[in-house]
């Protein structure tokens, strides 16, 4: 089924290139409308569930804001405290029940594949806002949207993915989504945090893998946080945290016009002093999440 | 190599062209263990015109279920199943990989939702040779 009314968005690989481009076109319209203060309330009278089984700031708030901008009401929870999940309720039962109250679901869950399972149970559209270390498709869409907005194209860009490439689901989804475009990739990571083979072998663009933070030719430097919460061995975390730090000094060697992106939150991998440089785009990137989530929600609820 | 002959079975199943050395895995797939009371005959590493060497398994009074056939496809994807009735081959089929394995394979990813929720695993075939499966839920291959 083509992406549209009634669809779920679980994995970026569910979307064909033309569907991704259609989301961008819709997001641009919403971006213009929000900036002009003239958003059509296309979801007036509808209810959207925001089921965040795991912590989130940007994705949860931008999803709720997207629904609110479009006139929908939002119900849900952030963290499982106070829900029946604490009493041992299964995800399937929770979704089966919530599905009776709402018209669409935003879900984040710590287990890989939880969003796909939720989509099988729910009759209403399910939008994956991150399932474990698997997928985060709206983040990938907003990442691509940001690159396209900044450069007017994605083809031809040289993109460095830096930091935690092992556990970071955003870089997994992004690397695969970039298969739709002709780019050159650079994977910069400590050997213990390399891009997993199951992702690496599906990447169709040329890739250079390196441990050294060499960004001289890159148009986009996409930095990720070392994800402490996914390490079973905290000694390993201590060994690798803070190995890459983007500073104004590092950016002196960067290509003119290059941008620094980050899915946020950052810890110390991008110095605060970078915020004032012309390269910093991570806050604009986070802002684009609103327009992308408006576009996705509108597409799955209105077609 | 001297020809090896086994007595025919009256009713049951003969699984032929099992890759050499996989017969014991096939028995596990079929649930044949020390409590199994019917006749089981096992030939390992016998000559095969098609593959050089092969294993052959004969199990009396057994007809494979769909689930067992799917499991068999994982360990012996090119095997032949002969249904025997009154000492005659009544039906001969090649094992075929199903489009999807449902509830048969456990996902190797400990963080996959299928290892935490009461849901049947579902795997699609990513490649035939060697067999590689993709989990519908966590999207990993194994």
DSSP symbols for B65-121: -HHHHHHHHHH-TT-EEEEEETTEEEEEEE----SEEESSS--S-TTBGGGTSS---
Residue A180 and residue A131 share a domain: no
The reported pLDDT for the residue numbered B5 is: 67
What CATH number is associated with residue A142? 3.40.50.1370
CB proximity A140 to B under 8 Å: no
Give CA–CA dist A267/A11, Å, rounded: 27
Q: B124 with B136: CB under 8 angstroms?
A: yes
The reported pLDDT for the residue numbered A238 is: 82
What is the percentage of chain B residues whose pLDDT exceeds 90?
A: 61
Position A6 in a domain: no
Find, among A205, A222, A202, A69, the residue nearest to A140 by Cα. A222
Count of domains observed in chain A: 2
| Enzyme catalytic residues of A | 58-59, 87, 108, 136
Q: Of the ranges A75-89, A128-142, A201-215, which one carries the lowest mean pLDDT score?
A: A75-89
Residue A98 and residue A53 share a domain: yes
- Chain B interface disruption, residue of A8, A88, A90, A111, most B CBs within 10 A: A111
pLDDT tens per residue across span B85-126: 999 999 999 998 888 999 989 999 999 999 999 999 999 998
CB proximity B113 to A under 8 Å: yes
pLDDT tens per residue across span A47-72: 999 999 998 899 999 999 999 999 99
Position A79 in a domain: yes
Residue A274 and residue A233 share a domain: yes
What tokens appear for A301 in the block?
């609820």
Name the band, by pLDDT with cuts 50, 70 and 90, for residue B3: low
Cβ contact A92–B136 (<8 Å)? no
Name the band, by pLDDT with cuts 50, 70 and 90, for residue A145: very high
Residue A175 and residue A130 share a domain: no
Q: Which residues of A touch B114 (CB under 8 A)?
A: 113
Three-class secondary structure of residue B28 per DSSP: helix
Residue A85 and residue A95 share a domain: yes
The reported pLDDT for the residue numbered B50 is: 79
Residue A291 and residue A257 share a domain: no
Residue A76 and residue A47 share a domain: yes
Give CA–CA dist A2/A303, Å, rounded: 10
Position A2 in a domain: no
Residue A131 and residue A166 share a domain: no
Residue A248 and residue A157 share a domain: yes
Position A5 in a domain: no
pLDDT tens per residue across span B52-78: 899 999 999 998 888 888 889 988 988
Asked if pLDDT for residue A170 goes beyond 60, the answer is yes
What is the percentage of chain A residues whose pLDDT exceeds 70?
A: 99
Residue A93 and residue A209 share a domain: no
Predicted TM-score (pTM) of this structure: 0.87
Which range marks the domain in which residue A16 is found? 12-136+287-302
Residue A270 and residue A145 share a domain: yes
Position A7 in a domain: no
Residue A294 and residue A241 share a domain: no
The reported pLDDT for the residue numbered B133 is: 93
Asked if pLDDT for residue B4 goes beyond 70, the answer is no
Q: Of the ranges A99-103, A117-121, A204-208, B65-69, which one carries the lowest mean pLDDT score?
A: B65-69
Tell me the average pLDDT across A105-123.
Answer: 97
Give CA–CA dist A25/A39, Å, rounded: 15
The reported pLDDT for the residue numbered A3 is: 93
């Amino acid at each position: 089924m083509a992406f549209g009314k009634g669809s779920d968005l679980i994995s970026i690989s569910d979307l064909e290139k033309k569907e991704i481009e259609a989301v961008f076109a819709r997001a641009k319209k919403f971006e213009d409308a929000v900036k002009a203060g003239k958003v059509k309330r296309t979801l007036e009278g509808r209810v959207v569930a925001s089921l965040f089984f795991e912590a989130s700031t940007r994705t949860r708030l931008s999803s709720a804001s997207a629904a609110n901008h479009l006139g929908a009401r939002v119900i849900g929870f952030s963290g499982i405290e106070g829900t029946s999940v604490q009493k041992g309720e299964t995800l399937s039962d929770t979704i089966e029940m919530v599905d009776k109250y709402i018209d669409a679901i935003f879900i984040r869950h710590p287990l890989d594949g939880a969003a796909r399972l939720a989509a099988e149970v729910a009759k209403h559209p399910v939008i994956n806002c991150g399932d474990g270390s698997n997928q985060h498709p709206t983040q990938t869409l907003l990442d691509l949207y940001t690159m396209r907005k900044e450069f007017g194209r994605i083809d031809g860009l040289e993109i460095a993915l830096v930091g935690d490439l092992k556990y970071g689901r955003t870089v997994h989804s992004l690397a695969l989504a970039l298969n739709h475009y002709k780019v050159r990739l650079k994977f910069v990571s400590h050997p213990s945090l390399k891009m997993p083979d199951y992702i690496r072998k599906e990447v169709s663009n040329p890739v250079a893998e390196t441990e050294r933070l060499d960004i001289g030719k890159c148009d986009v430097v996409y930095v990720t946080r070392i994800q402490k919460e996914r390490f079973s061995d905290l000694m390993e975390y201590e060994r690798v945290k803070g190995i890459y730090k983007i500073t104004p000094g590092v950016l002196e060697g960067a290509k003119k016009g290059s941008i620094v992106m980050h899915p946020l939150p950052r810890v110390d991998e991008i110095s605060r002093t970078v915020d004032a440089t012309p390269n910093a785009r991570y806050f604009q990137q986070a802002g684009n999440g609103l327009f992308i989530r408006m576009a996705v929600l509108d597409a799955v609820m209105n077609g | 190599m001297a020809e090896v002959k086994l007595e025919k079975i009256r009713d049951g199943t003969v699984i032929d062209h099992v890759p050499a050395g996989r017969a014991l895995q096939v028995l596990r797939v079929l649930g044949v263990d020390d409590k199994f009371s019917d006749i089981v005959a096992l030939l390992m590493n016998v000559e095969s015109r098609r593959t050089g060497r092969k294993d052959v398994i004969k199990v009396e009074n057994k007809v494979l279920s769909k689930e067992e056939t799917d499991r068999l496809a994982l360990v012996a994807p090119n095997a032949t199943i002969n249904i025997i009735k009154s000492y005659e081959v009544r039906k001969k089929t090649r094992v075929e990989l199903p489009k999807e394995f449902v509830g048969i394979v456990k996902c190797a990813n400990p963080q996959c939702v299928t290892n935490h929720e009461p849901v049947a695993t579902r795997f699609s075939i990513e490649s035939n040779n060697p067999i590689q499966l993709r989990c519908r839920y966590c999207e990993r291959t194994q």
